[in-house]
Amino acid sequence: MSDSSKILDGRKVANEIKDEIATEVEQLKSRNGKVPHLAAILVGDDGASHTYVNNKIKACKRVGFEYTLLNFPGTISESKLMTEIDRINNDEDIDGLIVQLPLPDHISAAKVTEKILPEKDVDGFTNQNYGRITSKNPGLMPATPYGMVELLKRYKVEIKGAHCVMVGNSRTVGAPMSTIMAYHEFATVTVCHIHTKDLANHTKQADILIVAAGKPELITADMIKDGAVVVDVGITRIDADNEKGYELKGDVKFDEVSQKAKLITPVPGGVGPMTIASLLLNTLKAYKNRIAAI
C-alpha cells in the first residue's frame, strides 16, 4: 500500500471546498435572500445512477444549496423528457441542471445534453461550454476535468511547462482535460488512448499522467517514470470474493504504480469527490452569473 503522503486525497480537498462554499452561501443568503438551486433529473432505476445522484444531493445539503430531484421511469419518452428540461430551463429560480447518465437506449444523450441551457449546464457537457474552453472567457467548465485541475493545484503540483500525457480521448473527460491543460494551464500535452501504438513509450515521458481509458489496471509500474504525478479517472466494478461481491478498480495498477509515483489518486476517493465539488462550484458560478444579470 502507498505511503499516505503520496496520496492526492480527493475526499479531503472536496470537503475543504464544500466548507468554503458553505461559508460563501451563508453570505449570499444574507445579501440576496436566496441560495443557489440545483436540479437533478434521474431516469430509470439504475442502482449506480441512484447512488451518484444521492451523493450530489447530500453535497447540496451540506453546503446549503436548494435542490430539486426529478425521478422519471425508464419508460419516459424522449419528447416528454425534453419538455421537462425546457421547464427547468425556463424556471428562473433554478441555477443548475444535471441529467444523470446513462439514459435508456431510446433517449439520445447527445440531444438531451444540448437541450440544457449552457448557463445552467453545471456538468459542462454542452457543445457551447465545451467549445468555450479554448477561449479566454470560458463558461461552465466540464466538472471532472475542472475537479482534477483543482486537485492538482491544491497539492501545489507544477503544471505550467510540465509534460502531461492524457490516456483517453472521451468527450466528457479526455478531450476537455487535455484542452484545459494546454490552453489554460500551459502544460505540454500528449493525447493517447487504448489504440495508441506503444502506449508505454508515451506514458513513461509524463510528468503528469492522467488516465481515463475505462480499462482496469491498464497502467503498470513499468509504464511510468519515477516521480510522476498520476491521476486515475477510471473506476470499474470487478467481481470479487468479498462481502459486497465486487471491488472497484481504477485504470492504474495502484499498489505497484504508487511505489514509483510522487503523487497518485486512489480509486475510489480521488477524482470522484472532486467531480461533485466541481458541480457545486459550477452551480455557485451559475447563481452568481444569474444574480449579476438581474
The answer to whether residue 221 sits within a structural domain is: yes
Q: Give yes or no for residue 98 having a pLDDT over 60.
A: yes
Residue 166 sits in the same domain as residue 76? no
Residue 240 lies in a domain: yes
Q: Which residue has cell 441529467?
A: 99
pLDDT of 237 above 90: no
Amino acid identity of 39?
A
Backbone angles phi, psi at 263, to 5 degrees: -140, 150
Give me the sheet containing 163-167, strands edge to edge: 188-192, 163-167, 208-211, 229-232, 263-264
Same domain assignment for residues 149 and 244: yes
152 and 241, same domain (yes or no): yes
3-state secondary structure of 183: helix
pLDDT at 140: 96
Identify whether residues 155 and 53 lie together within a single domain: no
Per-residue model confidence (pLDDT) at position 239: 85
Cell of 129: 461550454
Q: Does residue 244 form part of some domain?
A: yes
Q: Is the pLDDT of residue 293 over 80?
A: no
**Rounded average pLDDT over 281-289:** 97
pLDDT at 241 over 90: no
Q: Say if residue 182 is in the same domain as residue 95.
A: no
Q: What is the rounded average pLDDT of the residues 53-60?
A: 96
Count of domains for the chain: 2
Percent share of the chain, pLDDT over 90: 90
H or E stretch covering 51? helix 47-63
Give residue 113's domain range: 33-117
- pLDDT (tens digit, 9 = 90+) per residue, 144-183? 999 999 999 999 999 999 999 999 999 999 999 999 999 9
> Is 1 or 294 the better-scoring residue by pLDDT?
294
Q: Are residues 68 and 164 in the same domain?
A: no
Which CATH number characterizes residue 174's domain?
3.40.50.720
* 57 is a domain residue: yes
Instruction: Tell me the per-residue pLDDT of 128-140, one tens digit each, with 9 for 90 and over.
Output: 999 999 988 899 9
- Would the CA dihedral through 25, 28, 33, 38 be positive or negative? negative
Q: Is residue 76 part of a domain?
A: yes
The pLDDT, as a whole number, for residue 294 is 66
**Would you say how long the chain is, in residues?**
294
Instruction: List all residues 6 or more positions away from 242 whose beta carbon is below 8 Å from its beta carbon.
Output: none
Give the residue from 203, 199, 161, 196 showing the smallest Cα distance to 182: 161
What's the pLDDT at 1?
44
Same domain, 149 and 225: yes
One domain, residues 149 and 102: no
pLDDT 10s digits, 252-261: 999 999 999 9
pLDDT surpasses 80 at 19? yes
Q: What is the CATH number of the domain that holds 82?
A: 3.40.50.10860
- 153 and 105 share one domain: no
Task: Tell me, yes or no, whether 103 and 149 share the same domain.
Answer: no
CB 109 within 8 A of CB 128: no
**Catalytic positions, please?**
56, 100, 123
Half-sphere exposure of 149 (CA within 13 A, CB side): 23
Note the Cα 257 to chain centre separation in Å.
23
The verdict on residue 191 lying in a domain is yes
Q: What percent of the chain has pLDDT over 70?
A: 99
6 lies in some domain:
no
Indicate whether 104 belongs to any domain. Answer: yes
What is the rounded distance in angstroms from the CA atom of residue 113 to the CA atom of residue 102? 11
Co-location of 162 and 70 in the same domain: no
Task: Write out the H or E segment, with its range, that includes residue 32.
Answer: helix 10-32
The pLDDT value recorded for residue 147 is 98
Check whether 2 has a pLDDT greater than 70.
Answer: no
Which is nearest to 279 in space by CA: 22, 60, 16, 34? 60
Q: Are residues 150 and 234 in the same domain?
A: yes
Q: Give the residue-averaged pLDDT of 106-128.
A: 97
Q: Give the strand pairing for 236-239 and 246-249.
A: antiparallel
Torsion angle, alpha carbons of 216, 221, 226, 232, to 10 = 10
Q: Which of 52, 82, 117 is the last residue of a domain?
A: 117
